[in-house]
Amino acid sequence: MPRTTSALRNRHPERHRTERAGWLRAAVLGANDGIVSVAGLVVGVAAAGSGAQGVLMAGIAGTVAGAMSMAAGEYVSVRSQLDTEHADLALERRELHDSPAQELEELAAIYRQRGLDAALSRQVAGQLSAHDALAAHARDELGITETLRARPLQAALASAVAFIVGAALPLVAALLAPPGRVEPVVIATTLVGLSLSGGLAAWAGGAAVARGAARVVFWGALAMVAASAVGRLFQVAL
């Protein structure tokens, strides 16, 4: 008795991480940017000699502006990618309509390059084209799949929400820090937060956790050192 697809899936379940690629990239970028950007802003303003109220207001303003900027940037960027995909699919659709035999041979040539013999490559190309020619060309010629399709709104929302969540860490640290200790408290809290976010992102993507945490912490520390130096240089209190 032939086994069904459902039965095979139950016997050998696979959880691939590529399905998370779109929103995970945007969320990781947004969270890390929220932590680093707002922490740098808070540290710089505190280093310049501003009081708690000025530090907090600067951090909130940076959070709002940063979240909007991240959402807009992600949407425009991913929307451009989606427009390119649509243009390529429209071109492929016209070619399938005008030159079906040539497109069939083009698909068969792709399968020959991947290791199939001439007869089998034509058989596979013919069967896939009969089922859904555009989908076959989109996947095997253009590299466009449903799993990895560009999703502008998803990327924008993931980035903005993650930025706000990330920015909350240095804001809360600044709010709870003792008077005169905002800078060291925010720096320490931010480095801990960056190590956790970098490690979590690496784990979600299947990469080495320690390496992912270390590289995020390095760039975050560098950003805060630079922000603190600027604040001390100008000493302009808000």
Segment-wise mean pLDDT, segments of 10 residues, the chain, 238 residues: 46 50 67 87 84 86 91 88 88 89 89 89 89 87 74 85 91 87 88 84 77 86 85 65
76 within some domain: yes
pLDDT value at residue 22: 54
* Number of domains forming the structure of the chain: 1
102 within some domain: yes
55 within some domain: yes
Query: Are 28 and 201 spatial neighbours (Cβ–Cβ below 8 Å)?
Result: yes
235 within some domain: no
Length of the chain: 238
Kindly report the pTM of this predicted structure: 0.67
Could you list the residue range(s) of the whole structural domain that residue 184 is in?
20-230
pLDDT value at residue 45: 87
Q: Which two tokens stand for residue 37?
A: 């950007």
Q: Rounded to whole angstroms, what are the CA distances from 68 to 155, 162, 186, 214, 236?
A: 13, 12, 23, 28, 27
Phi, psi of 234 (to 5 degrees): -95, -30
Q: In 3-state terms, the chain is what percent helix, strand and coil (to 5)?
A: 85, 0, 15
135 within some domain: yes
pLDDT value at residue 5: 46
What's the rounded Cα separation, in Å, for the pair 154 and 27? 10
77 within some domain: yes
